[in-house]
Amino acid sequence: MSSWLDYTINGLIVGNVYALVAVGLALIFGVSRLINFAQGSIYLVGAYIGWVAVVQLHTPLPLTIIVVAVAAAIVGLIIERFGLRPLQNSVRIAPLLATIGISFVLDQLVMLTFSPNPRALPSQLPDVRFQVGGGTIGPLDLLIAGVGLTSALLLFVFLRYSKLGWAVRATAQDRDAAMQMGVDVNRVNQAVFGIAAALGGVSGMLVGMYYNQIDTAMSLQATLKGVVAEVVGGAGNVPGAVIGSLLLGLVESYGVAVFGTSYRNLFAFLLLVVVLVLRPNGLFASARQAPPEPLTGTFIAPSRPVRIPRWALAVAAGGFAVLPLFPVSFYVLQTLINAWLLGMLALSLTLVAGTIGQVSLGHAALLAIGAYSSALLSLTFSVPVGLAIIGGGLMSAALGTALISPSFRLRGHYVSIATLAIGEIVSLVILNWESVTRGPIGISGIPPLSLFGYDLISPTSIYWFSFAVMVVLALLQGRLLTSHLGRSFRAIRDDDIAARAYGLSLNRYKSLAFIFGGFAAGISGGIAAHLYSYINHETFNTQQSILALTVVILGGLGNVVGAIVGSVALVGLPELFRIAAEYRILIYGIVLLLLVRFRPQGLLGTI
Amino acid sequence: MGEQLKSLLSLRGLTRRFGGLTAVDAIDLDLAKGELISIIGPNGAGKTTLFNLVTGLDRPDAGTVSFEGQDVTGLSPERLAAEGIARTFQLGRVFGNLSVMDNVLIGAHTRLRAVKPAVPVIGPLLELGLALLRPSSVKAEEEKLREEMKAILARFGERLLPRIDQPAYSLSYANRRRVEIARALALKPRLLLLDEPTAGMNPTETAEMQGLVAELKAEGLTILLIEHKLEMVMRLSDRVVVMDEGKKIAEGPGEEVRGDPKVIEAYLGHGLATEQESAA
Ligand SMILES: Nc1ncnc2c1ncn2[C@@H]1O[C@H](COP(=O)(O)OP(=O)(O)O)[C@@H](O)[C@H]1O
Ligand SMILES: [Mg+2]
């Protein structure tokens, strides 16, 4: 019994921390219909500012909290002013991509400043525990509960009794009406981002103290948890976000009690997927809400794609095909092999995110499914490698589509959340399903690439093989785009309501897009597995998903040639300029931000 | 009405509530084959919501919709499109990044046969395969549709044909409305719902649109029209239905309805908002 009380207390305390993140997300969503994917990064920044204050400046606890809140709020204001405000009148996908870019830039800046190694963040509180009923509670628990309650109270008073708070509520209710009544929406956004960031930063610091450890992986986890709590409570619903957070904390805590720690996140994401599917408006919203009317064709930036003549494409392809015949270094070939593998992933993502408008943030999961399937087929069942890779592609197509299918009825930002969560679920299942995936040990000794009994060992043969596979996939995708499916996909992206009114089933066509895209990504993962000879649950991670997304935006959403050009550019240019690995992700994030701001249609234009 | 049997569409007690507001309140309506009924009423009367209920984009809280004698209440918009119900949208919902031709071809989506075999379960996979392989039957079907679409676009004179390959976002407002109507015609509808087709058009464009709707009616198409421009309504309609605050407050031939004191009051009571709009 006593342990149950402990788990309950622990669940509520952790839930309290999630609430600080989720309330910020809810406030932002309320006024700008935006899910701020950078919220976790502010939480990370808060944790590190707390570390600087405590460990280097030796500030007393109350001062530490104030320093963290103010510094984080400033970061939030900067994000609002320079990252999002310039995008106010742009297409709906722009702010979504911008917050993703900002989060990568912030995380990377923290990592470069403080190194990726975990650090200890002492809580400055006496290490005692009090008996409460059958469980125990420490001063830090009380502090977290106190901060949570105080913030809730302050927020309530602000929203209820201040003029700015009134403006925030009015904007959340009806933005256009609020603007007509003279509400300054920029000030409202500022207020909301400032508050959200302050809460998020303090939350990060408290969590660091709670576990006495901070590291840069905290960011993504916090974003995910905050989003889960917010969606469970109903996007934009502030009290709902608090209840959703407590519920999430309890679900996780009890889940850990029954199944063990490695299942903690699995429960969070399963809860998210269940809520998204069954009650996409949250637990407390009325079950049936008609979609708001005007959502016309403004999801992606309209543009006329750059037309590249066929002969030019043929010449370029021919040039790359004969490249190994010239005395090029191993290093160049290796770089281009990476570009071709990324190119296949980008082809897949540009179809899914660009052509049919489902901005997937968990695309690396498709690589992982393809890689594991192909590796296991060849190792366990001695399937020839060539066939195993195709098997990986098919498995990724089938399983990926099945996993994502519950979220086919979602739109815009929700699709991104769902794919992010499903990507995490895949990686957690790989980690925990030891009998099949060999868990954290990973799979080693994967046979090398081979075709019709000939091993492809030399860089030249691997180069040709991966290039040929990518070209075939690109040609198929190009053919798909010129068929009735291409126009059906694009119609669904531009206006899914009008598309349905003309008989296009969203389930059917989103499935077909994911089947085709899943196949390409699975093939890429399969080839990678045989190339690396060792894979584990971290080989295909969120960074690859984001890199692929940056490639796709760079090339132009939906643009097949753009996906390949973008891959060569983003793999090749950092090599050319010898940019150290740790700066690369920072550069990808900055590239993403600059593109969203200045050339949303990418280099070659959206199709 | 005694025409029950011949009616293509009948609504019985159709009701939709949004929170405390009853946007559509127990509407009964019968539409015979070949008939053109106009629905008029001040802004917020519930006309568009009624269209949403008929086309499956929204589901009624009470009441039934039947089409050709079959109960179709609550069917998905995809199913209803396949049954032959096409609509245009009040605010205009063209596919911005698609060319004019592709927009109109989407209208013909429910008529694709060769590329969309009606095989259960693996039908979608066959569709993917056929789209990639493109056997001659698929090519021929696509070609035939394209020719047909050009004929539909030709109904709009030189407005759309020269812009056939341009993306819809680059068209003028009036041309986008025309693309929407062309897309609806591409479905070969048995019932056409037009939601304020002339909103924002100048008098010349309005007259053109009126001519087109008259042509469609003469061809025997059954049409439900929401329209604020009363002159057009009077010219085209077999009957006029007046809605206010979700309820049907009058129904009958245009001249009769126009003089109805309840109708005049509904319009005056709403500050003539709609009259001003139709003048604009
Ligand atoms: N999705 C919705 N949610 C809430 N209220 C709605 C929704 N759609 C329409 N309404 C309300 O229903 C009423 C009727 O709207 P509508 O059918 O668009 O009127 P009309 O087309 O006659 O101008 C209006 O008061 C409108 O605000
Ligand atoms: Mg309307």
- Region B16-24: what's the mean pLDDT? 92
> Counting Cβ atoms within 10 Å, is residue A482 exposed (0-12), middle (13-18) or buried (19+)?
exposed
DSSP type of residue B31:
E
What is the secondary structure of B42-86 as a DSSP string?
STTSSHHHHHHHHHTSS--SEEEEEETTEE-TT--HHHHHHHTEE
Give A133: exposed, middle or buried? Use CB within 10 Å, 0-12, 13-18, 19+: exposed
- Which residue bears the tokens 């400055």? A124
B94 Cβ inside 6 Å of ligand 1? no
Cβ of B124 within 8 Å of Cβ of A290? The answer is no
C-alpha B247 – ligand 2 centre gap (Å): 15
CA dist A503 to A27, A357, B57, B75, B184, Å? 37, 18, 12, 12, 11
Instruction: Take residue A286 and report the two structure tokens written for it.
Output: 């009325």
CB neighbourhood size of A121 (10 A): 24
Chain B neighbors of A498, CB-CB under 8 A: 89, 93-95
Candidate from B97, B127, B128 with C-beta closest to A490 = B97
Burial class (CB in 10 A: 0-12, 13-18, 19+), B207: middle
pLDDT of residue A234: 81
Q: Do B91 and A294 touch (CB under 8 A)?
A: yes
pTM, two decimal places: 0.90
**Test the B interface: residue of A93, A300, A502 with most B CBs within 10 Å:** A502
Closest Cβ–Cβ partner in B19, B89, B128 for A498: B89
pLDDT mean over B195-214: 93
Give the chain B residue nearest A298 (alpha carbons).
B96
CA atoms lying within 13 Å on the CB side of residue B166? 13
Strands A130-132 and A135-137: antiparallel
A581 touches ligand 1 (CB under 6 Å):
no
Distance CA A213, CA A236 (A): 31
Token pair in block for residue A578 = 């010898």
pLDDT in tens, A44-70: 999 999 999 999 999 999 999 999 999
Q: Which residue, among B95, B128, B146, B191, would best test binding to A if mutated, counting the most A CBs under 10 Å from its CB?
A: B95
CB contact at 8 A, A410 and A418? yes
Q: Per residue in B82-116, pLDDT tens?
A: 999 999 999 889 999 999 999 999 999 999 998 88
Distance, first Cα to last Cα, chain B: 37
Distance CA B67, CA B71 (A): 7
| DSSP secondary structure letter of residue B35 | -
CA nearest neighbour of A284 among A249, A239, A246, A252? A239
B1-5, B45-49, B89-93, range with greatest mean pLDDT: B45-49
The contacts of residue B146 (CB under 8 Å, 6+ apart) are B101, B105
Cβ-contact A23, A238 below 8 angstroms:
yes
Mutate to test the pocket of ligand 1, among B15, B16, B18, B47 (most ligand atoms within 8 A of CB): B18
Question: Which ligand is the nearest neighbour of the Cα of A177?
Answer: 1
Task: Please name which of A188, A203, A278, A170 lies closest in space to residue A49, comparing C-alpha atoms.
Answer: A203
Q: How many residues does chain A have?
A: 607
pLDDT score for A418: 86
- B109 with A503: Cβ contact below 8 A: yes
Q: Whose CA is nearest to atom 11 of ligand 1?
A: B23
B46 φ/ψ sector (left φ>0, alpha ψ -120 to 50, else beta): left
- Show me where the domains of chain A are located: 2-124+134-278, 330-540
Find the B49 Cα to ligand 1 centroid distance in Å: 6
Tell me the C-alpha distance between A462 and A448, whole Å: 10
B47 lines ligand 1 (CB under 6 A): yes
d(CA B40, ligand 2 centre) in Å: 10
- Alpha-carbon span B150 to A584, nearest angstrom: 51
Are residues B112 and A296, on separate chains, in Cβ contact within 8 Å? no
| pLDDT at residue B240, as a whole number | 95
Show the tokens assigned to B230. 């009363």
CB < 8 Å to A476, chain B: 132
B96 neighbourhood in chain A, CB within 8 Å: 296-298, 302, 494-495
CB contact under 8 A, B98 and A487: yes
Residue B266's φ and ψ, nearest 5 degrees, are -60, -45
> Is there an atom of ligand 1 within 6 Å of B52 CB?
no
d(CA B120, CA B105): 24
Give the pLDDT score at A319: 95
d(CA A412, CA B250): 42
Which of A286, A295, A300, A494 to mutate to probe the B interface, most B CBs <10 Å?
Answer: A494
Q: State CA A319 to chain mean position distance.
A: 36
> Looking at ligand 1, which residue's alpha carbon is closest to its atom 5?
B18
Closest C-alpha among B78, B75, B72 to residue B106: B78
Q: What does the alpha-carbon distance between residue A468 and residue A324 come to, in Å, rounded to a whole number? A: 13
Centre of ligand 1 to C-alpha B17, Å, is 10
Q: What is the maximum span of chain B, computed from C-alpha positions, in angstroms?
A: 64
Question: Which of A479, A493, A494 is the closest to B132 by Cβ?
Answer: A479
Shortest-distance atom of ligand 1 to CA B246: 14
Q: What are phi and psi for residue B222, nearest 5 degrees?
A: -90, 130
- What's the gap in Å between B227 CA and the centre of ligand 1? 16
Sign of the four-CA dihedral B220, B221, B224, B226: negative
Would the CB atoms of B115 and A516 count as touching at under 8 Å? no
Topology annotation, domain A2-124+134-278? ABC transporter involved in vitamin B12 uptake, BtuC (1.10.3470)
- Shortest alpha-carbon distance between residue A52 and chain B (Å): 50
pLDDT at residue A290 in the model: 44
DSSP string, A117-163: S-B-----S----EEETTEEE-HHHHHHHHHHHHHHHHHHHHHHHSH
Using DSSP's 3-state secondary structure scheme, residue B248 falls into strand
What's at A166, amino acid-wise?
W
Burial class of residue A303 (count of CB atoms within 10 Å of its CB; 0-12, 13-18, 19+): buried
- The overall average pLDDT reported for chain B is 91
CB pairs under 8 A between A and B: 120
pLDDT of residue B276: 45
Q: Which residue has the tokens 């009769």?
A: B256
Q: And the tokens for B232?
A: 């057009």
Does ligand 1 lie within 6 Å of residue B23's CB atom? yes
Q: Which ligand is nearest to the CA of B196?
A: 2
- Name the closest residue on chain A to residue B48, using Cα atoms: A293
Our answer on whether the CB atom of B44 is closer than 6 Å to any ligand 1 atom is: yes
* ipTM entry: 0.92
pLDDT grade for B16, boundaries at 50, 70 and 90? very high
- Block residue for tokens 């109960």: B71
SS3 string of A252-318?
Answer: HHHHHHHHCHHHHHHHHHHHHHHHHHHCCCCCCCCCCCCCCCCCCCCCCCCCCCCCCCHHHHHHHHH
pLDDT of residue B1: 47
Query: At B65, is the pLDDT very low, low, confident or very high (cuts 50, 70, 90)?
Result: very high
In this structure, the number of other CB atoms found within 10 A of the CB of residue A89 comes to: 6
- pLDDT profile of chain A (607 residues), mean per 10: 78 91 89 87 95 93 94 96 88 85 92 89 79 77 89 89 89 82 89 94 93 88 89 84 92 87 81 81 62 48 85 95 91 94 97 92 94 96 95 97 87 82 90 90 93 87 96 97 96 92 95 97 97 93 88 94 95 83 84 90 88
Question: Cα distance from A303 to chain B (closest Cα, Å)?
Answer: 8
Beta pairing, strands B36-40 & B7-18: unpaired
Cα B123 from Cα B110, distance rounded (Å)? 15
From the list A449, A476, A443, A479, the residue with the least C-alpha distance to A463 is: A449
Locus of tokens 């969606």: A231
| Nearest to A23, CA basis, from A158, A121, A125, A220 | A158
User: Higher confidence at residue B278 or residue A604?
Assistant: A604
- In contact, A527 and A342? CB cutoff 8 Å: no
User: What are the Cα distances from residue A174, in Å, to A179, A290, A436?
Assistant: 9, 16, 51
